[in-house]
Amino acid sequence: MTEPTVRNVIIIGSGPAGLTAGIYAARANLKPLCFEGFNAGGLIPGGQLMFTTEVENYPGFVEGVTGPELMGRFRGQAEKQGCELITQDVDKIDFSEQPFKVWSEGQLYLAKTIILSTGARANYIGLESEEKLKNRGVSACAVCDGPLYRGKAAVVVGGGDTAMEEASYLAGICSSVLLVHRRDDFRASKAMQDRVRANPKIKLALSSAIVEVFDPAENKVTGVAVKDLKTGEVTRHATDALFVAIGHTPMTDLVKEQLELQPNGYVKVQPGTTTTSIPGVFAAGDVADWVYRQAVTAAGTGCMAALEAERWLVANDSAH
Task: Tell me how far, at minimum, the Cβ of 172 lies from ligand NAP, in Å.
Answer: 16
- Between 146 and 159, name the residue whose CB sits nearer to ligand NAP: 159
State the Cα–Cα distance between residues 41 and 181, nearest whole angstrom: 28
- Between 261 and 303, name the residue whose CB sits nearer to ligand NAP: 261
- Between 148 and 209, name the residue whose CB sits nearer to ligand NAP: 209
Task: Tell me how far, at minimum, the Cβ of 120 lies from ligand NAP, in Å.
Answer: 10
State the Cα–Cα distance between residues 89 and 183, nearest whole angstrom: 38
Q: What DSSP state is assigned to residue 292?
A: -
- Between 161 and 240, name the residue whose CB sits nearer to ligand NAP: 161
Q: Using an 8 Å Cβ cutoff, are 67 and 53 in contact? A: yes
Beta bridge partners, 283, equal 116
- Residue, CB closest to ligand NAP: 160
Let me know if 240 is a catalytic residue.
no
Pairing between β-strand 248-250 and β-strand 100-104 as defined by DSSP bridges? unpaired
Q: Which of 34, 83, 144, 174 is catalytic?
A: 144
Q: Give the type of residue at 33.
A: L
Beta bridge partners, 223, equal 214, 238
Q: Which of 34, 141, 174, 303 is catalytic?
A: 141
Q: What DSSP state is assigned to residue 3?
A: P
State the Cα–Cα distance between residues 18 and 282, nearest whole angstrom: 11
Pairing between β-strand 120-122 and β-strand 248-250 as defined by DSSP bridges? antiparallel
- Between 202 and 281, name the residue whose CB sits nearer to ligand NAP: 202
Task: Tell me how far, at minimum, the Cβ of 239 lies from ligand NAP, in Å.
Answer: 16
Task: Tell me how far, at minimum, the Cβ of 164 lies from ligand NAP, in Å.
Answer: 8
Q: What region does 218 belong to: left with phi over 0, alpha with psi -120 to 50, or beta?
A: alpha
Task: Tell me how far, at minimum, the Cβ of 127 lies from ligand NAP, in Å.
Answer: 10
Let me know if 141 is a catalytic residue.
yes
- How many Cα atoms sit within 13 Å of 272 on the Cβ side? 0
Binding site for ligand NAP (CB under 6 A): 125, 157-163, 165, 182-183, 187, 245-247, 264, 290-291
* Burial call 127-156: b when 16+ CB within 10 Å, e when fewer: bebbeebbeebbbbbbbbbbbebeebbbbb
Q: Which of 34, 89, 145, 161 is catalytic?
A: 145
What torsion do the CA atoms of 124, 125, 129, 133 make, to the nearest 10 degrees?
-30
Task: Tell me how far, at minimum, the Cβ of 123 lies from ligand NAP, in Å.
Answer: 6
- Between 183 and 236, name the residue whose CB sits nearer to ligand NAP: 183
Let me know if 91 is a catalytic residue.
no
Q: Which residues are catalytic?
A: 141, 144-145
